Amino acid sequence: MKILCLNCGSSSVKYSLFDWLAKTPLASGVVERVGIGGSFISHEASGREKATINQDCPTHKEAIKLVLSTLTDGTNGVIDSLTSITAVGHRVVHGGEKFVKSVIIDEKVIEAFRELSSLAPLHNPPNIQGIEAARELMPKIPHMAIMDTAWHQTMPEASYMYALPRAWYEKYAIRRYGFHGTSFLYNAKRAAVLLGKDPFKTNLVICHIGNGASVNAVKNGLSYDTSMGFTPLEGLIMGTRAGDHDPAIPLYVMARESMNPGEMDAILNKKSGKLGITGKFSDARDVEMAAVQGDARAQLALDMEANRIRKYIGAYAAEVGGIDAVVFTAGVGEMGPLTRWGALQGLDFMGIKCDKEKNDTSKTRNAETEISCKTSKVKVFVIPTDEERVFVEDVAGLMNGSYDIHTRFNYTFQEPGYRNMLRDDAFAKQCAKKPELLKVEANPAAGVKR
């Protein structure tokens, strides 16, 4: 059984192909710059060099066609034809209260996603476009949806309700939903393995830091609270999203600038965050480079971001009654030592001590690392997220009838001996050029010479 996973963003399509019976990842990659010109695919297959192919993709349909042709071509392909694909798993950001776990997609499901698009305007529309394109290209293959919101359905009412008129919840289902759920699920299970603990006896604060970012409080292995709310706008300072702010501010500006709700929504989602602070940059790499070069507003953006993450770590550690570990994941979380270091400063009183040398060394998406000091009572891990692996296992479970919510469903990656062979191979190559990474590796492969 070969499972294709698709994660369609506004201008990208991430993918991976997995052989479920052999428990082996076959290939993965991303099509970038979809719909904006200069499109290309970066493709990696087990045992082969990375390939890059330039091809214009004006829509997600062309991007998915490029993925499928790359997977089946004679040079880079890993399967003979599309008939080898058994099922497709799709990421969907917002499932509302209608979906508490992954589902098989039909027309009613797609229509429900459309109804929820206003809650995740940057994500649900491209998710739907990808689903429709893939179903058109592969009509005889079952397609499944994996929701970012499903993981957070265990939050208690005190965490997910807002102090707003109850009628708004009853009429419009206004509540905290939370996002990045597949990433948090994967990281919570992996952190328990690294700690050597039962996942349902583990307390964590997980920081998913990328262009979109959120923090998750995990109590006894379950989502207890999270920084994103009714939409992905709430919480941390992000690339272009404002995160937490006084809700009276938009009303004040709208009245004085004669703005309508749509215009203000666009500002809060697309023109705020790091872009709003710096006036120029939304990408963390650009902000860091500008700060190093003396740009005061870029430095302010970094300081504000670190302060906001630090506040959530402290608040969530208190909320769950103490934590076993802090976990960083996603693009900046995995590759941004400057952001991690800033966020962890001043937390020694909580037993959180970050090792500066380890933190600076930890820049890899191929291995789990530990960046805490030996004397730190609370561990600090950097865990490369693997949302596609969650997709694969949910799809396989749906196909064979064993799937259920994560409290009643065992994932292979929550087992101590779990390995990702593609990542192990890539990490070995990376260590050949940067051997100091071996010193921070948190979960070495058995039998590998160090």
pTM for this model (two decimals):
0.90
Question: 162-382 — its CATH code?
Answer: 3.30.420.40
- In the chain, where are the structural domains located? 2-147, 162-382
Least confident of 10-14, 119-123, 292-296, 348-352: 119-123
Instruction: Report helix, strand or coil for 326.
Output: strand
Tokens 């929820």 found at: 116
Task: Name the H helices within 241-379.
Answer: 248-257, 261-270, 273-278, 284-292, 296-319, 330-335, 337-344, 356-361
**Per-residue confidence at 448, pLDDT binned at 50, 70, 90?**
low
> How many CB atoms sit inside 10 A of residue 418's CB?
15
13 or 316: which leads in pLDDT: 316
Average pLDDT of the segment spanning 169-191: 94
Q: Which region holds residue 35: left if phi is over 0, alpha if psi is between -120 and 50, else beta? A: left
Angstrom distances, CA of residue 253 to CA of 247, 267, 280: 11, 11, 22
Is-catalytic flag, 424? no
d(CA 386, CA 18): 13
User: pLDDT tens digits for 181-238?
Assistant: 999 999 999 999 999 999 999 999 999 999 899 999 999 999 999 999 998 899 999 9
Confidence at residue 127, expressed as pLDDT on a 0 to 100 scale: 85
DSSP sequence for 374-385: TT-SBEEEE---
Question: 2-147 — its CATH code?
Answer: 3.30.420.40
Q: HEC states along 181-244?
A: HHHHHHHHHHHHHHHCCCHHHCCEEEEEECCCEEEEEEECCEEEEECCCCCCCCCCCCCCCCCC
Confidence at residue 133, expressed as pLDDT on a 0 to 100 scale: 87
Q: Which of 19, 148, 225, 355 is catalytic?
A: 148
Q: Which residues pair with 32 in a beta bridge?
A: 12, 40
Query: Same CATH fold, 162-382 and 2-147?
Result: yes
